[in-house]
Every structure is written in C-alpha cells, then in structure tokens.
Chains A and B, each alone.
Chain A
Amino acid sequence: MSTAVADKKPAAAEEIPTFTATLIIRRFDPDVDEEPRWEDFDVELYATDRVLDALHKIKWEQDGSLTFRRSCAHGICGSDAMRINGRNRLACKTLIKDLDITKPIYVEAIKGLPLEKDLIVDMEPFFDSYKEINPFLMAGATKGGKERKQSPVERARFDDTTKCILCAACTSSCPVFWTDGQYFGPAAIVNAHRFIFDSRDEGSQVRLDILNDKEGVWRCRTTFNCTDACPRGIQVTQAIAEVKQAIIKGKP
C-alpha cells in the first residue's frame, strides 16, 4: 500500500503534514482593471491536494472574488483548463506534489481566447470552430430502427479521439492558434477525426473539404504542444497527421 493512501484517510487528517505553498495568480477584473495583474496567495496544502483544491481554499477562505470555472473535480467535464507554471493543464488533475513547491506556482488563464475575468476566458470562439466541422454522425437512417453493426476493430480505429472533453487545453497551447485565431485548432480537428474514421459515417468528404481550407489542417506545424497538453492523453498530433493523410489519399 502506498503512503499516499494513508495520507488520504479523513480521520487521520490532523496528523498529515501540511505545508504552505505560494500561488501567483494572474487576475483580471473587467469592471476595475485596465490590465491583468499578478497576485500572491499563501495556502496551506497537503501533498495530495490538487491545484483546484488550492484555488478553492483561496476562494473560500481568503478572497471570494477569485473567479474560475469548475464542476466535476476529476478531469471529466473540461471546465478548468488553465496555464499552470506555463503549461496547459486541468487544475483538478494537477496534484500539488507533482509540482515543485519550493517555488511559487504560477496560474493564469489559457491563452488565445479573449480573457473575461481572472481564469475565465470566452469559450464561444472555441465552440464555434468545433461546430464548423459537422461534429455529428452523418449517415442515412437504418431500416426499421435497428442498431448499425461495427466490428471491434472498426470501433477501435477512432477510440482515441472519442475521449475528448472539449477542454481547449490543446487549442489554447498551439502557437499557430495564438497568432491566427481563425485556425480551426487541434480540438476541432480531433473531433473531425472522431467521425472521419468512424466506419458508420458517410460525411467524411465534407469534413475533409472543410479542413483542407487555408485555416484547416495545413496550418499545423507539428509542434506537439497539443499532445503534451491533452489531459485525456489523446494523441492529438497523430490525429491531425491522419486527417492530413486522409485529405491526400481519401478516407482509408
């Protein structure tokens, strides 16, 4: 049994060592601030706490105005992508013990989308790109309301890209997207991939044409930032490469 487990027992909480970490958070209150500003907070934490716990402690115990999105708290809803020590991650999936706590922890909003307040950005442009690639199964009706068949191999072909939770960590880590907000971005391509490689889908040519556009897949410079950022472990760069291949060679 690992020691992390013993640490997590609520009853023994008093005995577990805590330490003070410093979070330096980039704040922005649109009602007051002209420019974002950095603010320090000292927080008492356990090694097993997540960055989300630290943010909650600040909000609940020190400054209620600290603003961020969150819901599920275990990496499944995609609400809390943010830049933590310069890397895009989910606050609820980043454990304090995995960061170097001898130094301050820097937290700021993801880049490339309009900043609204503190750690919140405007997600509309992100969802707009997603919607543009026809993110739904395009296939004729089945006879008599029956299930379509799909072999386990065919199903496995697009498994990786079905995991996407639309958190925007990938898209907002992409240098191409930072400089050209028109670029569809990795998340939209991942979701196109999910349908292009689904054996049941009949609309892949439409999507491939959309992504062959000048703001489509060819803007990708294969920097792998997206793959590193993805909290679901999706091979984003590879998915983009497969879509490029499909454009050149047709749907496999």
Chain B
Amino acid sequence: MSTINTGDIADGTVIDGVHYHQFDIVIVGAGGAGMRAAIEAGPHAKTAVISKLYPTRSHTGAAQGGMAAALANVEDDNWEWHTYDTVKGGDYLVDQDAAEILAKEAIDAVIDLENMGLPFNRTEDGKIDQRRFGGHTREHGKAPVRRACYAADRTGHMILQTLYQNCVKLGINFFNEFYVLDLVMTEVDGVEEPSGVVAYELATGELHVFQSKAIIFATGGFGKIFKTTSNAHTLTGDGVGIIWRKGLPLEDMEFFQFHPTGLAGLGILLSEAARGEGAILRNAEGERFMERYTPTLKDLAPRDIVARSMATEIREGRGAGPDKDYLFLDITHLEPAVIDEKLPDITEFARTYLGVEPYTEPVPVLPTAHYAMGGIPTNVEAEVLRNNTDVVKGLYAAGECACVSVHGSNRLGTNSLLDINVFGKRAGKSAVEYVKTAEFVPLPKDPAGGVKRILDMVRSGDGTERIAVIRKELQDSMDRNAQIFRTDESLEEVTQLIQKLRARYKNIQLHDKGKRFNTDLLEAVELGFLLDLAEVLVYSARSRKESRGGHMREDYPNRDDENFLVHTMAYLTGDPESEEAGDHIRLDWKPVVITNYPPMERKY
C-alpha cells in the first residue's frame, strides 16, 4: 500500500484541501472518560482531545445520582461487597477480574476527584457523604448500603466541570466541534494498524486528519436509536459505529438498560437517587408494587428488574392515567427540605416539564432507554480487542462506548461514573506507556477518502426522504420491538424495517448545502451510525435465545447458563446493504471471566 511519508506532515500541513496534524495521543470524546484520559496523558505526551461538542456539553453532565466507591465513610463497607454486587447486578455476565479492578480502584478514583476540587456533599464531620442506590448492598445482599458518593443530584455535572477545570489547568489541547467520522488503518506486514482519525470541522466544513501513535475512543453511548431515552440528541454512537465499520468486533450489543424512572412521555431521567432517598414506586391503586417482586430490596432492586416489574404492572392493567400507561414515583412523604437539599434538579424537571409539584403530587414515570452495556470490547488495560484474544495495537476505548465488561448484562446505578473514571484513567496511562516506544504508523495516501465518500453520498442528497422521518421510524420501531420485552417476531420486524430504511437513506434530501455549521449534513451522517448500531443490537438480541439482565426474551424467559454464559462478539463481514443481516453480520462468543463468584440464581 502506498503511504504518506510521516516526515512530510507537520501541524498545519494542507494536502488537497485536507488539514493534517500530528499528535502522540488523540482522544476522541471530551466527556468524563475522554477528559479523565486526557488528564493522565496530557502531561506525558503530546495529546489532543477531539470532540463534537464543547467538553462541558457532554452528556456526563446529565448524570445525577452518584458514583460508587466503598469508602465506608458512613457505614461498614468494602470493595469485595461492591465487586459481588456488580457481578450479581450484571446477572453474571460481568468479567469478574474487571469488576474487582473497578471496585478496588473506585476508592482512589473518588479521592482523585475530590483532590481535583469536586465539591461532594459532606457528612457532619466533613467527610464525603454517601447514599443508597439500587443493587448496592452490604454482606452480599443482606441490605442496601450507602456507597454512592454524590453532589446533590448533579454528580455528573460536577464531575464534568471538575475534569474540564483540570484540563484547563493542564493546558490540554482541545479541538471542539470537530466530528470524528473515521478511523484510519494502514496495513503493516499484513496487519491493519490504526494510524489516525479523520474529523469534520463544524465551523468550516473542512476535513482534518490527525496522525497519531495512540488513539483513545471515548465517544459515549447511543441511546438515540430509541425514541424514549434519557440520552442527549448528540448520543448517536458515532465512535462505536466507526469501529464497527472497520470490521472490528462489538461486544454484548443486545444489552441495553432501560431506566425505570423517566418522566412519562419525555424520557428525561429522574435519578435512582430519589429511591435511594426513600421515594416509592406506586401503581394506579397506590400500591407499592415492588414489594411483590423483590421483597428484600423493594424499590432499590437493580434496574432491569424494576423496569420489567413496571412493564408488567402496566400490562396487567394497573397503570395510571386514562390509558393506564404510566406509573408513579412518590416522594410526597419526604421533607421538602430534604428534597431541596438532595434532589433539587430532578424535582425541578418534574415541575418544568410535567407541571407536577413533587412535594405534594406523585410524578408520572415510565422506563426510558438509558445505557449501553455493550460496545467496543477492551481488556482491563483499555486496549481494544480485534478478536477474543488479540488487541489492536495503539487503539484504546473507555467509558460508555467501551465494554470491558464491568456491567455484564445490566449495569448498577453509579457504576458508570465510576467506570469512566477508572477506565478513562487506565486508557490514558496505557496510551502513555505505549507511545514511549511506538512509532507513527504511516498514513495511507488519501486517508480522508472514506469520509469524503460518506459526505459526497449525503451531500448529493437530492432525494425525497427526510432525515427526521427515517430516524423517527427507526426509533419508534425500536421502542416497540426491541425495548424491555423482546421476541423473535418483534426483532424480525425491526430487522426488516432497518433494511427498508437503509434503502430510503440513500434517497435523502439535504437542505443545507453550505460549508459552515452544516448541522443538517451531520444529522444525516449520524443517522447512518444509528441504523448500523440498531441493526447490530437487534441481530445480537435475536441470537441470544435466553433472558438475562437487560435482555428479556419472552419466547425464552429463563437464563440459560448452559448455552449463553458467554459474551456476544459481532463482526461486520459483508455489505450492509445486502438483504439479510446474516449475510453481513457474523457472531462469535467470548468466554466470561469467572473468578470468585459462581453463577447463582439472582434473587433480591
């Protein structure tokens, strides 16, 4: 393969209208995971962070409830209990070595943040305060434990701000409102190795190639494949989609978490912290129905179980409202002062968006698509896997876009803010180690060619199809067919729809033909990623003929450890335009790492 001479590239080089840059480490994404990696990498290597949003707009800022760590500041706790809860919460699909790292390093991760300036809520004696959250228990499930460190119901906001503040302090190099649309791979001795990324600059419409020795993906989730979601408009899974299109595997994509308490009709999240502080879920009859499903943990059972119980209540006719299609989150028994101190933002959401006063009225809620357990497979050093055992040299992933897997088939609340800190830091460290000895991989000639083709396809859009209509049809169908309850039939329905939408996608209409701030163009590109990711999710879900954690198959209602105690590894192997997903997607299975906790039935 012919390549560009690495020595010919200096910062600011322009070849054929494309700008070139060279960095030791490029981090894609400026949410919690990306900035935590940057803080580790910045002082030791020439580092750039590329983000489609200004860093402080990232969706980490929307996280509310808390970050888990067994500090034992307010009651007895230890990291081993935390490990166990994480493994059990994930319905035993968690890699137990990774969960142990997560729980152990949690303590330092919280202290790091405090030292960086994060304003945690405090106990009377000045220590970081902790509260309860779903699935976190003492002594292996005996009772809920206070493990979540928090800053009111703005923990994610404070984490994002604190990390950004420290990036400013360290003078980290940001490329804001740059959309990374491709990973550049170069063949070296018969193996494809990453040599850089290609980004589209929103302000100018120009393309930039960043050649780098190490690349860290930290692009967050992809909740926008669903209609009802707590995720931001911008969470379209670009990073995960880019990796997929390179033929690299995606792990456990069928596992998506539906959070029990989204504002009914809107999907805006009301944190589990509400239930941690004592809120109760009730049906139309006012009954505390969770007592029937999980007598020990009740409303604080893990999310998959609570969401399923809620869906069951509605199906059996106990939903509230004229159409009996929502339930209530009741905090009227809490003192207004406590609500104001501990849950100010979420109560404000209920007032603003539903016109409900949570002091005195129960708040209508419904499950909302919240978190991708699956994603880009990595090992515990955050290195991206190219198959079950080998890594892609110089490529790393961390945060919601990655799958380590510490969340298995169902993530526990507060374990993601933890994940982004622990594995964001590890990714940064691994990359720094790697670039100490690594050389630049030469760029192929015309590294931006792939992106130019995508943009040309979209730009030529003189068709008749509206981007928003295709996206809405996809999202509606995903909500109907691939949400809390799934069957082979429902999954087949959305598979077929995706094929049709792909054809229509080629016939889209683009209104904005300009170069500057062309968000019309980018929405079209993002839609391409949504279609790809929805398809892998559904394909993986059809093949997993069991129910586990966040994946509930009504036609296979039981967990089947005999056949499915394995991670799904999906590969794009052919032309996605082909009629049958089976023609272009191949599945493989990867063993789960089990150390101390043999799989058991999950009871709460």
Contacts and interface: CB of A to CB of B under 8 A. Distances in A.
Interface residues of A, number: 73
Interface stretch (B179-187, B511-519, B557-565): B511-519
Given A4-B355, A64-B467, A165-B157, A76 B127 contact: no
Contacts of B265: 8-10
A4 B354 contact: yes
Interface in B125-157: 125-128, 151-152, 154, 157
A71 B322 contact: no
B61 A165 contact: yes
A5 B154 CA distance: 25
B340 to A, nearest CB: 11
A29 B516 CA distance: 8
Contact of A67 (B53, B126, B352, B519): B519
Contact of A71 (B124, B203, B234, B325): B234
Interface stretch (A135-143, A206-214, A217-225, A238-246): A135-143
Given A12-B322, A137-B116, A5 B233 contact: no
Interface in A58-86: 59-61, 63-65, 67-79
B114 A147 contact: yes
Interface in B142-195: 151-152, 154, 157-158, 161, 165-166, 168-169
B57 A77 contact: yes
B510 interface: yes
Contacts of B166: 136
A31 interface: yes
A120 interface: yes
A148 B115 contact: yes
A248 interface: no
Interface stretch (A17-25, A36-44, A149-157, A173-181): A149-157
Interface in A168-200: 195, 198, 200
Contacts of B232: 71-73, 77
B127 A149 contact: yes
Contacts of B509: 64
B306 interface: no
A166 B514 contact: no
A134 B120 CA distance: 20
Given A147-B111, A147-B128, A74 B122 contact: no
A134 B117 CA distance: 13
B233 A165 contact: no
A9 B325 contact: yes
A72 B117 contact: no
B354 A8 contact: yes
A12 B319 CA distance: 14
Interface string A112-131: 00001110100100010001
Contact of A150 (B112, B126, B154, B322): B126
A71 B59 contact: yes
B468 interface: yes
B517 A117 contact: yes
B61 A77 contact: yes
Nearest to A11: B323
Nearest to A4: B355
Contacts of B514: 29, 31-32, 65
B117 A137 contact: yes
A164 B160 CA distance: 12
Contacts of A73: 232-233, 268
Contact of B364 (A5, A149, A151): A5
A131 B57 CA distance: 16
A146 interface: yes
Contact of B264 (A8, A78, A116, A163): A8
Contacts of B321: 5-6, 9
Given A60-B466, A60-B468, A71-B53, A145 B122 contact: no
B309 interface: no
Contact of B511 (A48, A64, A142, A195): A64
A61 B108 CA distance: 49
Given A2-B356, A5-B355, A77 B117 contact: no
A45 to B, nearest CB: 15
Nearest to B321: A9
Q: Which of A116, A117, A154 has the most CB of B within 10 A?
A: A117
Contact of B61 (A30, A72, A162): A72
A69 B232 CA distance: 12
A123 B517 contact: no
Interface in B78-115: 108, 110-112, 114-115
B62 interface: yes
B311 to A, nearest CB: 15
B322 A9 contact: yes
B54 interface: yes
Q: Which of A9, A68, A75, A142 has the most CB of B within 10 A?
A: A9
A121 to B, nearest CB: 11
Interface in B480-531: 509-512, 514-520, 523
Contacts of B165: 135-137
Q: Which of A56, A68, A120 has the most CB of B within 10 A?
A: A120
B388 interface: no
Contacts of A152: 121-124, 126
Nearest to A97: B355
B75 interface: no
A243 to B, nearest CB: 18
A165 B56 contact: yes
B119 interface: yes
B264 A162 contact: no
Given A30-B516, A73-B233, A116-B517, A147 B203 contact: no
Contacts of A165: 56, 61, 157
A155 B154 contact: no
A247 interface: no
Contacts of B440: none
B193 to A, nearest CB: 33
B117 A136 contact: yes
A197 B166 CA distance: 18
Contact of B57 (A4, A79, A149): A79
B62 A72 contact: yes
B56 A78 contact: yes
Interface string B579-598: 00000000000000000000
Contacts of B126: 149-152, 154
B168 A150 contact: no
Contact of A155 (B119, B168, B468): B119
Contacts of B128: 147
A211 to B, nearest CB: 17
16 contacts: A4-B354, A4-B356, A5-B355, A63-B511, A64-B467, A71-B232, A93-B352, A116-B517, A117-B517, A139-B117, A147-B115, A147-B127, A151-B124, A152-B121, A155-B119, A198-B119
Interface of A: 1-6, 8-12, 29-32, 48, 56, 59-61, 63-65, 67-79, 93, 95, 116-118, 120, 123, 127, 131, 134-137, 139, 141-142, 145-152, 154-155, 158-159, 162-166, 195, 198, 200-201
Given A148-B114, A149-B122, 13 more contacts: A2-B355, A5-B264, A8-B264, A67-B517, A93-B352, A116-B516, A136-B166, A137-B165, A152-B124, A154-B126, A155-B121, A162-B158, A198-B119
